Amino acid sequence: MAAKPVKGCESSSDDEAVSVPVSSNAAGSSTADKDKTAIEMITRYMAEKLGFIDTEEKSHEKVLDELTLDGVVKHIKDGKIKNIITMAGAGISTSAGIPDFRSPESGLYHNLEKYNLPHPQAVFEIDFFDENPKPFFLLAKELYPGSFKPTPCHYFIRLLHEKGMLLRHYTQNIDTLERVAGIPGESLIEAHGTFYTAHCRECKAEYKLEWVKEHIFSDKIPICEKCPGVVKPDIVFFGENLPDRFYSSVGEDFSQADLLIVMGSSLVVQPFASLVDKVRDNCPRLLINREKAGEGDKLMALLGMGGGMDFSEKSTRDVAWIGDCDDGCQLMADKLGWGDELKELIKKEHSRIDSEKKPTLHKKNEEN
């Protein structure tokens, strides 16, 4: 697979309100995956040239009755879908009120000006963090999980899980809203890391979210209890590798998928963006986003080397539903006959979250 996340290829659209665009040396398992993918590409290319794969015949074989949301829904209702992989970018979290931390105009960077950052993204560069972690923790206070409620998109993914159809959810986001929504950890691949756990930069001791949060909201840099090292949340910074679980899960997961749903991502940050090419050729791919995304190189597609999504009239399986992610998920749930169930789940879960926050607010008022 494309093993190196590319720094600087972020999008200004919905791609990553709380998703760190990452850069990696991609050593170890990622290098092995890259070599394996290269061999697969060469093998496929040679097989096509020798006539073992009929690309013309395959390219005209329609997977869906119609390349619309209704076509995808019919495929599900017909019982042809058992293993769904969902992929998400920050577009699924924007309605939760999570700000775009990457934009200097968002206001989040205003308090960091006194630290004379060489550029805004320096706050997410591991070398800069090791020299001066304070700017990151000041910014993290504004972004920390617990201040936001999951969106209809998150609960739609949970509904897929509850119905036994979710094979895995791959997310670029670091906001942990999938976990808050009740999607179990074993069903999640947090490609760009998470605030859920943290580790000491020196001795690697592990700490949980609440421990780190207590320090951050007390305006203290979290220092390890076992050594003088700084404790950093497990989000992926520029200069760090993606989690091992990302690379170890991709091959098996995507070979089993019979539907891929991409939500709220502009599919530009690698290697996450290349995952759309990992599913089988007969696997439908649905994009729910404010604009079309992930359309790739036509020549690469002809050579069987990926090529991204194809929303042209010649497409055999790709569907783009353009609009707000929450609206798209609710509409899909309605068409599947799950609409009221989704609305009730959102109402119940948001009430639960509100009730859990009240004791905390009461305690703070007593302290004041």
pTM: 0.78
Calculate the CA 74 to chain-centre distance.
Answer: 26
SS (H, E, C) the chain: CCCCCCCCCCCCCCCCCCCCCCCCCCCCHHHHHHHHHHHHHHHHHHHHHCCCCCHHHHHCCCCCCCCCHHHHHHHHHCCCCCCEEEEECHHHCHHHCCCCCCCHHHCCCHHHHHHCCCCHHHHHEHHHHHHCCHHHHHHHHHHCCCCCCCCHHHHHHHHHHHCCCEEEEEECCCCCHHHHCCCCHHHEEECCEEEEEEEECCCCCEEEHHHHHHHHCCCCCCECCCCCCEEEEEECCECCCCCHHHHHHHHHHHHHCCEEEEECCCCCCCCHHHHHHCCCCCCCEEEEECCCCCECCHHHHHCCCCCEECCCCCCCCEEEEECCHHHHHHHHHHHHCCHHHHHHHHHHHHHHHHHHHHHHHHHHHHHC
Could you identify the residue written with the tokens 């074989």?
Answer: 61
190 CB-near residues (< 8 Å, 6+ apart): 171, 173, 174, 178, 196, 243
Residues at the binding site for Zn(2+) are: 200, 203, 224, 227
pLDDT of residue 218: 92
Q: Which residues of the chain have pLDDT under 70?
A: 1-60, 99-112, 145-146, 297-306, 358-368
The pLDDT, as a whole number, for residue 39 is 64
The per-residue pLDDT for range 131-179, each reduced to its tens digit, is 999 999 988 887 776 678 999 999 999 999 999 999 999 999 988 999 9
pLDDT of residue 356: 81
pLDDT for 138 equals 86
Q: Which residues are catalytic?
A: 192
Q: What's residue 275's pLDDT?
A: 96
pLDDT for 314 equals: 86
Q: What is the pLDDT of residue 141?
A: 83
> What pLDDT does 185 receive?
94
pLDDT of residue 41: 63
pLDDT at 296: 74
Residues placed in the known binding site for NAD(+):
90-94, 100-102, 172-175, 289-291, 325
Domains of the chain and any CATH numbers: 66-97+150-191+246-368 (3.40.50.1220), 99-147+193-235 (3.30.1600.10)
| pLDDT on residue 175 | 87
